[in-house]
Amino acid sequence: MARYVTTDLHGCLLSFRQLVEHRLKLRPQDELYVLGDYVNKGPDSRGVLDYLMQLPQRGYRVVCLRGNHDQELLDAAQGNTGVTWASAQDRQLTLSSFGVQRPEDIPTSYLRWLQELPYQLEVPGWVLVHAGFNFRLPPAAMRQDWHTMLNIKEFVFDASRLEGRRLIHGHVPTPTVEVKKRVKARAGAIGLDTGCVYRHNPELRHLSALNLDTDELILQPNIELDYPIGVR
């Protein structure tokens, strides 16, 4: 059995499928953890959700966490007009993947799945979350600060507040060379978002997966068909 974690798919279905089926060669006895941001920015948000929802039905052990973009799409679909959801181009790309004109018209099966996503997960040796934690808070409060778990971009890691476990997160696109360094150094906190969706940026444009037991880092380049996105 192997345990893998990846993050920040952003509608990059072809790249994600290549990672799962050909790079990881995922088996039913393996475990795959995905740390959020399945939608927005990329070409096929609906396709990514379909694939993630189908994997457990096909006998694979997959656990998905909630990301800030998943929350933003959910908020928009529930009519929360106080939330800013993406750029106009980004919104159109995401809605087109669902074949709808308004977020309120996204089929309820997707919204229900998003609504049930957990914010964090503990597995032996590790804590998994989309963005990170506010380590200045007491541990109990830190683990219930939902907004920070989805959105924080900088924090000072404190292993004692996670009872010695290491932390894996996504959210902030990080050059692949920097992620490689942190993995090699067995850093206490590792950000795995290597900006797959930013296909024009040579320092990013990869999906990263980490084997939690061997510290092997697997990099899958973006192989999506043409879609509009800026350089980050």
pLDDT tens for each residue of 42-99: 999 999 999 999 999 999 999 999 999 999 999 999 988 666 777 788 889 999 999 9
Identify whether 159 is part of a domain: yes
Percent of the chain residues topping a pLDDT of 90: 91
Exposed e or buried b for every residue in 157-189, given b needs 16+ CB within 10 A?
A: beeebbeebbbbbbbebbebeebeebbeeeeeb
Instruction: Print the SS3 string covering 93-110.
Output: HHHHHHCCCCHHHCCHHH
Identify whether 51 is part of a domain: yes
**Averaged pLDDT, 212-220:** 97
**Averaged pLDDT, 214-226:** 97
Mean pLDDT for all residues in the chain: 95
Identify whether 227 is part of a domain: no
pTM: 0.96
The whole-angstrom separation of Cα 232 and Cα 212 is 28
Identify whether 122 is part of a domain: yes
How many domains is the chain partitioned into structurally?
1
Residue 230, pLDDT above cutoff 80: no
pLDDT tens for each residue of 183-203: 999 999 999 999 999 999 999
Q: How many C-alpha atoms does 195 have within 13 Å on its Cβ side?
A: 20
Give me the CATH number covering residue 122: 3.60.21.10
Identify whether 181 is part of a domain: yes
The whole-angstrom separation of Cα 67 and Cα 94 is 16
Identify whether 231 is part of a domain: no
Domain residue limits at 154: 3-221
Residue 125, pLDDT above cutoff 90: yes
**Averaged pLDDT, 152-181:** 97
Percent of the chain residues topping a pLDDT of 70: 97
